[in-house]
Amino acid sequence: MERIARTRISDLLKREDFGTTVNVKGWVRTKRGSKQVAFIALNDGSTINNVQVVVDVAKFDDEMLRQITTGACISVNGELAASVGSGQKVELQASEIEILGLCGNEYPLQKKGHSLEFLREVAHLRPRTNTFGAVFRIRHNMAIAIHKFFHDRGFYYFHTPIITASDCEGAGQMFQVTTMDLANVPRKDGDGAVDYDNDFFGKPTSLTVSGQLEGELAATALGAIYTFGPTFRAENSNTPRHLAEFWMIEPEVAFNDIYDNMDLAEEFIKHCVRWALDNCRDDVQFLNDMFDKGLIARLESVLEGDFVRLKYTDGVEILEQAVAAGHKFEFPVYWGMDLASEHERFLVEDHFKRPVILTDYPKEIKAFYMKQNEDGKTVRAMDVLFPKIGEIIGGSEREADYDKLLTRIKELGIPMKDMWWYLDTRRFGTCPHSGFGLGFERLLLFVTGMANIRDVIPFPRTPRNAEF
């Protein structure tokens, strides 16, 4: 077979230099035809769209053509031609075909509809489907959009540790890291407690639940930073919205107050949505057509107006009025509750019909590091609530006062041995600062219209599931 530089199908479909000899490589989506001509739909992952390869059967070996089945990988040289069929402008008139990889009849992704549940069982193959090709191309583009947004605004990408000795959220739902033989754990004499002196780090360590605390110290040196990396929660939640391993984006900015923080969050998420519409249109359109007919309209609606800014107390009052008017919630509504997804979505979808930034939560349901308001009851927290998702961003102005922060740490019984370095940022040149966290997969749920968070990450980690 003559060696010709490969052209990506996404690029080939834009060309108009008909008559040129080109090469494409990819995987067969379908093959159909007659005794005279065969039509192969070929895809190489660069686009949701296939290129049609037209094969004059008389010019090729019958046995070779029989081996070209759904899932097979082939290389094709041929002449670029204007397509006579509808749906695409170009096609390839094959002159040479080489089979790079055969695919037998046991291939799980035959030409038929597959449920998303089935595709999770073959997660090593599902990127080859149209659906997951679209999802993972969008995932890549969202990562690029995030880095570009912060880089263009003078933020520094800061790498926080994945292995840590501190629990940022104070919830204790962490995966422990150890090199000890769990069948023969060393114990201390006397009380029988685990002897961590023999462990790799010499003390208990875990996978991080957040890079925020380290991000704060970076912001007090570099001014504006963001983290973007994997985080882990050992939370036994088998829901369509929870993962044990997920990715987080956490900007932290010195001298920003809660109002600056809200402005940044709104600007950031609008940038990401706009990027998806501008750079992933074919993939978003496919998902709109196949899974969520209102996807594009919902994405565009986010860009149209300002997000509502609403105090928690006022939000609870709206929910109480809804209950009084006959609306049924699964979970009770009262001041001091941690809003459930159904409450958040009611505010966004039913009451305001646009995204809401909820602020000034009761301090008892929020983390220790959030700045306390003068009322002594609430903190300068903020959650960005989105349609279909509920909370998509959580953040706050941080408590900059050393004594107030220390008192809160003691109230919650957080071990000081884990917090001394964090408190140093308040002892040595403390400053106002704010930040937030965005769960990457939550953003992807919104942008793709997928209903289950397991379908926007290549290999989901959930309770009792660590396959692949």
Q: Is residue 338 pLDDT above 60, yes or no?
A: yes
Q: What is the pLDDT of residue 3?
A: 94
The share of the chain scoring above pLDDT 90, in percent, equals: 88
- Percentage of the chain beyond pLDDT 70 is 99
Under the banding of pLDDT at 50, 70 and 90, the label for residue 241 is confident
Would you state the pLDDT for residue 238?
A: 84
Domains of the chain are 9-101 (2.40.50.140), 126-174+209-455 (3.30.930.10)
Q: What is the DSSP letter of 78?
A: E
pLDDT band at 175 (very low <50, low <70, confident <90, very high): very high
Convert the pLDDT of each residue in 378-387 to its tens digit.
999 999 999 9
pLDDT band, very low/low/confident/very high, at 111 (cuts 50, 70, 90): confident
Across the range 336-349, mean pLDDT stands at 96
> Which residues on adjacent β-strands are paired with residue 156?
225
Per-residue pLDDT reduced to its tens digit, 395-424? 999 999 999 999 999 998 888 777 899 999
- Entry pTM: 0.94
286 pLDDT above the threshold of 90: yes
In the block, residue with structure tokens 């501190």: 166
Q: What is the mean pLDDT of residues 95-101?
A: 97
Q: What is the mean pLDDT of residues 181-202?
A: 89
> Would you state the pLDDT for residue 183?
93
Strands 90-101 and 51-56: parallel
- For residue 168, pLDDT over 80 is answered with no
Is the model's pLDDT at 169 over the cut of 70? no
Coil vs helix vs strand at 46: coil
**Confidence band of 369 (pLDDT split at 50, 70, 90):** very high
Check: CB of residue 46 under 8 Å from CB of residue 103. no
Q: H-type helices in 291-358, by residue range?
A: 295-304, 312-324, 341-345
> Rounded mean pLDDT of 13-39?
95
How confident is the model at residue 434, as a pLDDT?
Answer: 98
**In this predicted structure, what is the pLDDT of residue 173?**
86
pLDDT of 171 higher than 60: no
Smallest Cα–Cα separation from 400: which of 424, 371, 428? 371
Average pLDDT, the chain: 94
Query: Alpha-carbon distance 221 to 214, whole Å?
Result: 11
Phi/psi of residue 310, nearest 5 degrees: -140, 130
Determine the pLDDT at residue 170: 56
For residues 303 and 296, give the distance between their C-alpha atoms in angstroms, rounded to a whole number.
11
**What tens digit of pLDDT does each residue of 59-86 get?**
999 999 999 999 999 999 999 999 987 7
- Confidence class of residue 224 from pLDDT cuts 50, 70 and 90? very high
CA distance 457 to 461: 9
